[in-house]
A and B are shown apart, each in its own frame.
Chain A
Amino acid sequence: MNNAARVTQDSWRYLFSPASVAVIGASNTAGSWGNNAMKGLLNTGERRVYPVNPNSAEVLGRKAYHSVLDIPDPVDLVVIVVAEKLVPDVLRECVSKGVKAAVIITAGFGETGEPGRKLEAELAEIARQGGIRFIGPNSMGHADTRTQLSTFGQSGEMPRGSVAVLAQSGNMCLKIVRNLAESGVAFSKYISTGNEADLRMEDYLEYLGKDDDTKIIAAYIEGLRDGRRFFRLAKEITVRKPIVVVKTGGTQESARAVMSHTGALAGADTVYTAAFKQSGVIRVEDDDELCDVVYALLNSPLPRSNRVGILSIGGGPGAMTAEACEKEGLAIGTLEPATITKLDKYLPSRWPRRNPVDMSGPSAAEFSVIADLLTALIEDKNLDFIFLLAPIVMDRALLASRMGLNPEAIKAYREKEEKNMMLIREKVEKYEKPVVTMWQMRGLSNTPDTAPLLRKGKVLVCANARRAARVLRYLVWYRQYLDATTRK
């Protein structure tokens, strides 16, 4: 382990809640990194922000300093955006100044080849000797919603939440953060870890494992430098907090000279897969799945096992969903006789009396029974979660056009829906059975009008049956991992 020393709590404090920040390479040019970082830092939070730029008297109306050494006050954190050749000298000045932590946004280091790698090693050495811990280089920034600190150059207040994102790609970091934010997820911290010349994925993981603000950790990983340490940390963390990972670089083979058959058979990626599985890390295929799974972990209980109940407005969607479930290794549950008796009360006599439950084409006026049907399925002992392919809530426009409701009637309808949702939430929580609805009912299920209602009911929304089935497969796997691990 050539990662000098374990990161101290002080270092983390300087990184995430600095009293003063200097932006080295601060700029008046709109859209530049040095301009973005300044704007973001000035936008929120109470801290002193100093631009450093030898060529301007001021940046964004603030007095600019020629060098970090000219700043009259102590500086806790620096954001470095100057050209790569200048970074070593800038960092040396930071050491002289007594700076505690840095985020190096500048790119053009190890990711570009041998000369870049040398320059990067030089940074690590300067920082190590000078006692500076840093993120990057080639990072796009880091953010902490508790202290309202962001070096990404975002504007506006960041809502506080419990999901942390770690990404070895800045673009993937922002993509994941934006996608999750769109579905109403808020964050504790998110970090674009860059080339990890000093602070590494394993360090951040260790920190977030102990961070009380963070309840779920999502990570985009291209490669680990100390896989064994990651494994040990993950094993300890996943019994308390889920870790969801997208890992790319699956085709890279690590160079190893082997004499055995076994060594020749093991691709680098197969070992990552084994390590994740063994330490309870939920490994997903891509960032869309990552967002689906994080959302589900945040908004739904974990199912006890893999038996799905499907409630569908008609035969087709139910059949398609059943097939998607079977492909992902989920089981189609067999309804209890008592459930069939309950459903008989609400459904026309022609309904097929089995799972998937086919409502056999109800009219819009009959949609009101959906909540009762869903409740009956949640209570069925043979089912562990429910896929809902029927409009349990309706969009305002549809209520007006299809059902001819006036605004007052829509309000009354909404109130009834809301009551239903509170009841469903109660059942979901009591029985620990997730309910997932799919966008197949376009315009009926997930519009700005209806999304908050679904959230109230703890009803998950997925783009289609295949994605829903995969999410549930991950949740079932994680629940079974936890059950097996904690049983010991």
Chain B
Amino acid sequence: MNNASQIIDNTRKQGRAVLTEIEAKRVFKGIGINTIETRLASSLKEATAICDDMGFPVVLKIASPDITHKSDAGGVKVGLKNKTEVRKAYGEIMASARQKYPAARIEGVSVQSMARPGIEIIIGMFKDAQFGPVIMFGLGGIFVEVLKDVSFRLIPIVQRDAEEMIKEIKGYSLLQGYRGQEPANIPSLVDILLKVSDFVERTPEIKEIDLNPVFAYKDSALVVDARIVMEG
């Protein structure tokens, strides 16, 4: 927790409202949520060294406090299988980011290992004008985009609320292992919801959170991408 609040303090001192991906992931890791390992590489050399350490395949993303929509900036490359691909991707990401956001401060790239595919989940939080902080759970990917298959509760939630939120979505049967697919580990998802609720309750300056996607597996769940927005 100390770690998490230090990161948040640091962001505020720099006058930023949005945490970088790496900062956000460190915050969630710091509050005990299983989060994919993601490290900052400030040069190509560092990037390839991290890859050696992590193993392939990897994902590279532009790391800049000024670029929040990384894909739009051509700043995301996935499934890189070797050093050659990493070198090429690094060059393309830098070129594209500089072209589209010439004024952006660029710290380098984030390097993360490719997560084993699981059931895509979205967990989030925002502040409602009437009700204050609200937590959301839903199926990710097209389910959230097209069907808006999500459920909400006011923060703070208790275990029963978290369990109900999960059971409430229309696609709940997908989490139970539809057609021989691996089921999702519900207690792990409940745990994430409770930890996010608890964290937001203790940190009122947080305005919005996206954990998108979270991959749910048979025995665990893993946060693959994270975003935190602070009150301005």
Contacts and interface: CB of A to CB of B under 8 A. Distances in A.
B34 interface: no
Interface in A217-242: 223-228, 231
B210 A254 contact: no
A279 to B, nearest CB: 8
A263 B128 CA distance: 8
Contact of A274 (B18, B144, B153, B160): B153
Nearest to A260: B208
Interface stretch (A52-60, A265-273, A333-341, A447-455): A265-273
A274 B129 contact: no
A261 B226 CA distance: 11
Q: Bin the interface of chain A by size.
A: 20 to 34
A260 B151 CA distance: 16
Interface in A432-475: none
A278 interface: yes
A275 interface: yes
B94 interface: no
Contact of A260 (B126, B130, B157): B126
B210 A261 contact: yes
Contact of A265 (B68, B131, B148, B229): B148
A254 B128 contact: yes
A275 B130 CA distance: 10
Contacts of B122: 261-262
Contacts of B68: 259
A258 interface: yes
Interface in A270-292: 270-275, 277-278
A368 to B, nearest CB: 46
Contacts of A270: 150, 152
B150 A265 contact: yes
A365 interface: no
Contact of A266 (B152, B160, B210): B152
Contacts of B144: 261, 265
Given A258-B208, A274-B153, A278-B161, A266 B130 contact: no
A271 B138 CA distance: 14
The majority secondary structure among interface residues of chain A is: helix
A484 interface: yes
Contacts of B148: 265
B134 A274 contact: yes
Nearest to B18: A259
A256 interface: yes
A128 to B, nearest CB: 22
Nearest to B211: A262
B126 A274 contact: no
Contact of B131 (A261, A263, A275, A484): A275
Interface residues of B, number: 32
A167 B127 CA distance: 27
Contact of B124 (A225, A262, A484): A262
B130 A226 contact: yes
Given A274-B151, A274-B154, A275-B154, A262 B129 contact: no
B132 A228 contact: yes
B209 interface: yes
A227 B129 CA distance: 8
Contacts of A259: 18, 68, 208, 229
Contacts of B151: 274
Given A261-B144, A278-B161, A224 B130 contact: yes
Nearest to A259: B229
Contact of B130 (A254, A258, A273, A278): A254
A288 B128 CA distance: 30
A400 B212 CA distance: 71
Interface string B115-141: 000000010111111111010101000
Nearest to B131: A227
Nearest to A256: B129
Interface string B65-86: 0001000000000000000000
B26 interface: no
A273 B160 CA distance: 17
B124 A260 contact: yes
B227 interface: yes
Interface of B: 18, 68, 122, 124-132, 134, 136, 138, 144, 148, 150-154, 157, 160-161, 164, 208-210, 212, 227, 229
17 contacts: A224-B130, A228-B131, A255-B129, A259-B208, A260-B125, A260-B209, A261-B124, A261-B210, A261-B212, A262-B122, A262-B126, A262-B136, A263-B126, A263-B127, A265-B148, A266-B136, A278-B153
A-B residue pairs, 3 tightest by C-beta = A262-B124, A227-B130, A263-B126
